[in-house]
Chains A and B, each alone.
Chain A
Amino acid sequence: MLVSIRWLSRHIDLTGLSPEQICEDLTLSTAEVEGLEPFAPHLSDVRVGHVLERNAHPDADKLSVCHVDIGGEDALTIVCGAPNVSSGQKVAVAPIGTVLPGDFKIKKSKIRGVASQGMICSVRELELGEDHDGIWVLDENAEVGASVSQALGLEDFVIEIDNKSLTHRPDLWGHRGIAGELAAIYSRPLKPLNVELPDCGNGAAFPVQIDTSACSRYLALPIDGARAEPSPDWLRFLLLAVGQRPIDQIVDVSNFVMLDLGQPNHTFDRQKISSGVNVRMARDEERLFTLDGEERSLQASDLLICSGDEPIALAGIMGGQNSKVGEDTSALLLEVATFDPVIVRRTSARLALRTDSSARFEKSLDPTLPLKALGHFVQILRSFQPKIQFPGPLTDAGEWVDPAHRLTLRTERVHAALGKALDEQEMEDILRRLGFGVQSSATGFSVDVPSARSTKDITIERDLIEEIGRIHRYHNIPEQALRAEIAPPKPDLRRNMVRQIQDRLAGGARFREALSYSFVADESLERLGLLGEPYVQVVNPAAQGMDKVRRSVLPSLLPGLEANRRLREDIRLFEIGKGYHPEQANDRGEPLECHQVGLVWAGCPPDKSARFDASRFHQLQGVITDLLDHLQVESIQWRPSTAPPAWAHPAKTLEVYVEGQEEPLGLVTELDPGLCSKLGLSDDLRSDVAASELSIDALLGAPKFEGRYRPIPRFPGIKVDVAVALKEETPAAAVEAAIRESGKGLVADIELFDLYRGENLGESRKSLAYHVLLQSASKTLTEKDERKFLKRFEQAITQQGGELRNG
């Protein structure tokens, strides 16, 4: 909201206070000031000039050459095109060098052969109005040579207050309310405001009928003889300062009253609403052309002002075209009312029609305010147009209740909440300055809350404590340390595990942690084959096709691979985050939340000559195995996935289990071969991509081994290398089983170190080579033990159609 300091001065004497000081004090005691700007700063460079002479231009019919005194030694020669310029006038002169709005710099120029030393300005050129028919003729008493802003008393500063910080203060949506805050802060009185009601004629009262509880008060006053003439400068400039466009006296006074007291109001052309006013809820499909020219389709939840049954205004939001006050209107009906804040808010939100009026009504306006606002309106309009008449009495309809109420304020509670023992005298003084009525009581005070503060803001004792605190100023409250029993914090298993995972992956495995948006684009889901799954969806996404909340982490990591792959040969990323499964919602409707770690490892495919386990898939399986070992997960087991996700390789997907458990901890996979090119990883970006997902919930629940010491073997072992050639389909696990079997309990370690396929082995055959460590806890093994092992192993392998290649 914009607040003019000159406007505030109508309500309170601000002598001796700089605009900066006022802003600082408002910030510290009332609401956040977002900005402070001088009003029309260019006016300080524009001078009051006296037209000494006006002569016709020698070469142009419509131009004149003026000699203008602006207080300097010599009068200026200025070429002027306005028809209304004449000698003797006081005018606004922009001398050479002045910069006018729109970055328009006045330069020395020749106009049709005559040098011009400045410009005589119109109202529009100074951004003070729309009028461009002629120059702005100033008051004849304006001091020649003075700046226009000084001469006309237009020097002003405009404060911008953050609307959000006024949400709870309906009373601060007008200048008088802000002035009231300053009155409390500076202990200065508010100037009286004349809101006296006029004497009305004996005509019939204007009929108003209210058919809904959504309008608690409706004041209607007929006014005759009003004219739509331009407003005087003081009013026009105040409106301009706060960003309102002056129109005519009727509209301007209406806006002025709203911006002054915070009470919206509306004028109808009484000729057009001859059936009286009826306030009712709308019917579905009902229609109304609002003043902005839009046709509005209404619903039963909208509140309407009607004439008879015909809608004439959207209550509290905007008037209708059909009852608009025109240039020739002289019979007015002034409406000042109190409407239900929720209904105004809903309608205005639904129609995306937020107006100065609706913004105020939705804050819960004081129902005693309309009468003051009506008096204020009448007083101001009559000061411009003394001949206006009030043919009939004021109609005051509605079942409103004065919200003013009384609260108990306990001194001890103030002390306890603020943590400072303020004396009672100061508390009482602050409350009185803020307009509360205060009586002492046994425990503190009995406080009368004025109507203006009663609708929403001040409802409980704590609200009064805030009033005292903010005027006392919070920085005057000393800091104090919290005192409480401190016990060692409970171990936080989940967070500890997350940290262990992060550190292991970022450390040993040298992965980078990423954090991603929770929304995943439809386009990405489509590529990953996941678009058909159930998602939590938002109805108002940030962008089209970005309405789905991820079910798992990996879909967030995969789409970014291409961009990163352009820059890096090797990409290792992980993310720890949440996914949501709406189909598994609980009885409160909350979707199942899954905590996950997702990993992706991508890069150039390995060379032909690389080791058999150089693929990212094998490497990632190694990282996961290491991680699970680090987390001390007991007895893990890898099994081929029977139902790999759509983005995973249908064959090369392994799930990792705790032995004997039904639910996997997670999976490791190579990306589906068809997906790489869809993700842009083809041609020179051709990549070997492995990915993994682990459930943090499952990891937390998995049994852990204890890091217990095992005695160091006393007897040396024997290292035996074995290589076998066998059929392609024989799994490595069968060879390992044969090794263990043949060792008869002596096999302490097995490591596959080569996997080889070659012509010399024959079609569909492979060779596997292992380091085997034989070791006994009770004796030193000999060559004899090795021979026995090899013999048994050869037998076992031969039975499987393989052959031992040791030799």
Chain B
Amino acid sequence: MLDHDETLGQAREELEGCLDVEATRAVERRYLGKQGVVQGQLAEIPRLEPDARRAAGQAANRLKQDLQQAVQERIEALESADIAAQRAGTGFDATLPAPHSQRGGLHPITQVTRELEDLFRSMGYDVLDGPEVELDYYNFEALNIPGDHPARDSHDTFFCQGDGHLLMRTHTSPVQVRAMERFEPPMRIVVPGKCFRQETTDASHDHTFHQMEGLVIDRNVSVSHLIGAMKTLLRGIFGRDLDVRLRPGFFPFVEPGFELDARCPFCTDGCSVCKKTTWIELLPCGLVHPNVLRSGGLDPDEWGGFAFGLGLSRLVMLKHGIDDVRHLLGGDLRFLEQF
């Protein structure tokens, strides 16, 4: 028969030498496994005198329990030592960079357009679309700019080959009459889109740019409503109330026509954005000219409305402080990745 204390002591010594769970399990197997020491002792019991068997059985069981406990203690000790070692975080460099992950993203014009579309839709406007290659009729004629009107000069139009009726639209306003033809009044619409002007490009001019047209047609629409709507719009864009001023501006498709200036949101006493004037010219707008209503098949005695144009490209430049408009459509990833 094995001496209980000696065996247990020897096992403990061996367990102390185990540095991981695996080695511990090996010791466990040697003492407690099918071929193990305890099993050997149990196997001897039937060969003992009957009156000695009971005591031998009890002793073997006690040894088994004590060994099991010793193994368990050792495993727990090892595990907590392991967790403690992990907790120490040895070798961890807090300054290692995060793995590079290329992000996708939307064009800044898309982002601003979406903000505005959502703003307008929340105010009951529909968002419409119109063609970039446009008929002279919608771009000029229907907007009270007949052939040979001097206002055409300022539009720097790209004319298309053919019989002279096609051009690259110079503004988003052609959708005004297109919308009146398609929908019944009253209506509130905005139209984001690309426009074209045949002009020399520089940091603040590009021959292709984005605009958003707005049109409200209803009964009894006045300058007073226009001012209210424009202030609401600017509040939506800049997130706060800006002083505005309305001054005369000439656009043949509105009467009266205005330029809406807002107090420069970037300074209080003049900066490069407002060219030291503290006002920035933001929105050409006005009451829809009766002739334009007629072009759209509406009776100017019954219906009225107002229209406005927002320079999306300009707004994007203002918002992000972009110094050269040509970056917008240049396709350079170093630009696109910033948004």
- B161 (CB) vs chain A CBs: closest residue: A537
- What CA separation (Å) do A536 and B160 show in the bound complex? 7
Residue in chain A with minimal CB distance to B221: A482
A623 to chain B, nearest CB (A): 11
Instruction: Say yes or no for A567: interface residue by CB 8 A criterion.
Output: yes
Interfacial chain A residues near B114, Cβ < 8 Å? 499
- B95 within 8 A of partner (CB): no
Contact at A590–B135, with CB atoms within 8 Å?
Answer: yes
**Which residues does chain B contribute within 8 Å of A784, judged by CB atoms?**
none
Q: Give the contacting residue for A513; candidates B105, B133, B135; CB below 8 A.
A: B105
Distance between B7 CB and nearest chain A CB, rounded to angstroms: 47
Interface check A419, CB cutoff 8 A: yes
- Does B38 belong to the interface (CB within 8 Å)? no
Write out, one digit per residue, whether chain B residues 115-136 have a CB within 8 A of any chain A CB (1) or not (0). Answer: 0010001001111010111010
State whether A510 and B102 are in contact (beta carbons under 8 Å apart), knowing that A539-B161, A563-B332 are contacts in the complex: yes
By CB atoms of chain B within 10 A, which of A463, A502, A557 has the most?
A: A502
Contact A506/B224 with A165-B248, A492-B127 known, Cβ cut-off 8 Å: no
Please report the C-alpha to C-alpha distance between residue A644 and residue B158 in the assembled complex, in whole angstroms: 32
A28 and B247 within 8 A (CB): yes
Q: Cβ of A349: which chain B residues have Cβ within 8 Å of it?
A: 153
Which chain B residues border A463 with CB–CB below 8 Å? 255
Given contacts A345-B148, A466-B256, whether A480 and B107 have CB atoms under 8 Å apart is no
Q: With a CB–CB cut-off of 8 A, which chain B residues contact A300?
A: none
Q: Which one of B44-52, B80-88, B226-234, B265-273 is at the A interface?
A: B226-234
Main secondary structure of the interface of B (DSSP, over half): mixed
- Chain B residues near A166 (CB-CB < 8 A): 250
Cα separation A32 to B106 with both chains bound (whole Å): 37
Q: Please name the residue on chain B nearest to A556 by beta carbon.
A: B331
The interface stretch among B9-17, B60-68, B162-170 is B162-170
The residue of chain B having its C-beta at the shortest distance from the C-beta of A163 within the complex is B154
CA distance A538 to B168 in the complex (A): 8
Contact in complex: A578, B132 (CB < 8 Å): yes
What are the interface flags for A450-492 relative to B under an 8 Å C-beta threshold, 1 for contact and 0 otherwise?
Answer: 0000000000101101100110001101111110101101101
CB distance from B334 to the nearest CB of A (A): 7
Does chain A have a CB within 8 A of B239?
A: no
Q: Is A549 an interface residue (CB 8 A)?
A: yes
A571: chain B residues within 8 A (beta carbon)? 333
Contact: B223 with A469, CB < 8 Å?
A: yes
- What string of 1s and 0s marks CB contacts (under 8 Å) between B127-153 and chain A? 101011101000000000000101101
Q: Is there a chain A Cβ closer than 8 Å to B282's Cβ? A: no
| Interface presence of A542 (CB below 8 A) | yes
Least CB distance from A751 to B in Å reads 26
- The digit string for B210-229, where 1 denotes a CB below 8 A from any CB of A, is 10000010101111110111
Residue of B nearest to A31 (CB): B248
Contacts of A494 in B (CB 8 A): 129
Interface size class of B (residues with CB under 8 A): 35 or more
A659 to B144, CA, bound (A): 50
A540 touches B331 (CB 8 A): no
A29 / chain B contacts, CB cutoff of 8 Å: 247-248
Q: Is there an interface contact between B207 and A560, defined as CB atoms closer than 8 Å? A: no
Contact of A515 among B103, B220, B225, B329 (CB under 8 A): B329
How distant is A747 from chain B, measured CB to nearest CB, in Å? 35
A507 to B106, CA, bound (A): 9
Judge if B259 is at the interface, Cβ distance under 8 Å. yes
Q: Is A115 in contact with chain B by the CB < 8 A criterion?
A: no
- Confirm or deny: A62 has a beta carbon within 8 angstroms of a beta carbon on chain B: no
A517 with B216: CB separation less than 8 A: no
The 8 Å CB contact of A567, one of B124, B328, B333, is B333
A484-B186 in contact (CB<8A): yes
By a CB distance below 8 angstroms, the chain B residues around A567 are 333-334
B260 to chain A, nearest CB (A): 9
Interface assignment of A417: CB less than 8 Å from any CB of chain B: yes
Q: How far is the CB of A411 from chain B (nearest CB, A)?
A: 14
| B41 proximity list for chain A (CB < 8 A) | none
B69 within 8 A of A: no
Q: How far is the CB of A154 from chain B (nearest CB, A)?
A: 27
Q: Answer yes or no: A440 CB below 8 A from chain B CBs.
A: no
**Bound: A510/B105 CA distance, A:** 7
Which of B109, B127, B133, B221 has the largest number of chain A CB atoms within 10 A?
Answer: B133
Q: Does A167 contact B (CB under 8 A)?
A: yes
Q: How far is the CA of A165 from the CA of B106 in the complex (A)?
A: 37
Q: Which residues of B contact A506 (CB under 8 A)?
A: 104-106
Closest Cβ of chain A: how far from B252's Cβ, in Å? 7
On whether the beta carbons of B106 and A502 are closer than 8 Å, the reply is: yes
Q: Does B311 contact A (CB under 8 A)?
A: no
Give the residue of A346, A481, A510, A590 whose beta carbon is less than 8 angstroms from that of B133.
A590
- Flag whether B308 is at the interface (Cβ < 8 A): no
Q: Tell me, yes or no, whether A748 is within 8 Å of chain B by CB.
A: no
Checking A477, A480, A564 against B331 with a beta-carbon cut-off of 8 angstroms, the contacting residue is A564
Q: How far is the CB of B155 from chain A (nearest CB, A)?
A: 10
Name the contact of A165 in the complex, choosing from B105, B249, B252 (C-beta under 8 A).
Answer: B249
Q: Which residues of B contact A549 (CB under 8 A)?
A: 132-133, 160, 168
In the complex, are the beta carbons of B124 and A469 less than 8 A apart? no
Determine whether the beta carbon of B250 is less than 8 Å from that of A479.
Answer: no
Closest to A474 in B: B246
**Residues of A contacting B309 in the complex (Cβ-Cβ under 8 angstroms):** none
Q: Would you call B336 and A512 a contact (CB within 8 A)?
A: yes
Interface size on A, residues (CB 8 A): 90
Contacts A469-B223, A479-B231, A482-B228; A32 near B249 (Cβ below 8 A): yes
- List the A residue with the shortest CB-CB distance to B243: A475
A345 contacts B207, CB within 8 Å? Answer: no
Q: How far is the CA of A505 from the CA of B103 in the complex (A)?
A: 11
- Judge if B110 is at the interface, Cβ distance under 8 Å: yes
Residues of B within 8 A of A169 (CB): 250
Interface string of A291-328 (1 = CB under 8 A from B): 00000000000000000000000000000000000000
A788 interface residue (CB < 8 Å to B): no
Q: Which residue of A lies closest to B103 (CB)?
A: A510
User: Nearest Cβ distance between residue B78 and chain A, in whole angstroms?
Assistant: 36
Q: How far is the CA of A563 from the CA of B250 in the complex (A)?
A: 43
**Given A482-B229, A515-B107, A418–B224 Cβ distance below 8 Å?**
yes
User: What CA separation (Å) do A346 and B246 show in the bound complex?
Assistant: 34
Task: Verify if A580 is at the interface (C-beta below 8 Å from B).
Answer: yes
* B208, CB-defined interface residue at 8 Å: yes
* Distance A3 CA – B168 CA, assembled complex (angstroms): 36
How many angstroms from the CA of A537 to the CA of B135 in the assembled complex? 14
* A160 and B152 alpha carbons, distance in the complex (Å): 22
Contact B162–A589 (Cβ < 8 Å): yes
Report how far A416 CA is from B225 CA in the complex, Å. 11
Partner of A480, one of B135, B153, B228: B228
CA distance A484 to B228 in the complex (A): 14
A533 to B222, CA, bound (A): 50
The yes or no answer to A511 lying at the interface (CB within 8 A) is yes
Interface hits, B170-226 → A, CB 8 Å: 186, 188, 194, 196, 198, 201, 207-208, 210, 216, 218, 220-225
Would B106 and A484 count as touching, CB distance under 8 A? no
Q: Name the residue of chain A whose CB is nearest to the CB of B168.
A: A538
9 example contacts (A-B, Cβ-Cβ < 8 A) are as follows A417-B287, A419-B224, A420-B223, A420-B224, A482-B229, A513-B110, A518-B196, A590-B166, A593-B131
Interface residues of B (CB under 8 A from A): 102-107, 109-110, 114, 117, 121, 124-127, 129, 131-133, 135, 148, 150-151, 153-154, 158-163, 165-166, 168, 186, 188, 194, 196, 198, 201, 207-208, 210, 216, 218, 220-225, 227-229, 231-232, 245-250, 252, 255-259, 287, 289-290, 304, 328-329, 331-334, 336-337
Q: A418-B224, A549-B133 are in contact. List 12 more A-B contacts (CB 8 A).
A: A418-B223, A420-B223, A462-B290, A477-B227, A489-B126, A509-B104, A512-B337, A540-B158, A540-B159, A560-B332, A589-B162, A589-B165
**Could you tell me which A residues sit within 8 Å of B by CB distance?**
27-32, 164-169, 341-342, 345-346, 349, 362-363, 416-420, 460, 462-463, 465-466, 469-470, 474-475, 477-482, 484, 486-487, 489-490, 492, 494-495, 499, 502-503, 505-507, 509-519, 536-542, 549, 556-557, 560, 563-564, 567-568, 570-573, 578, 580, 588-591, 593
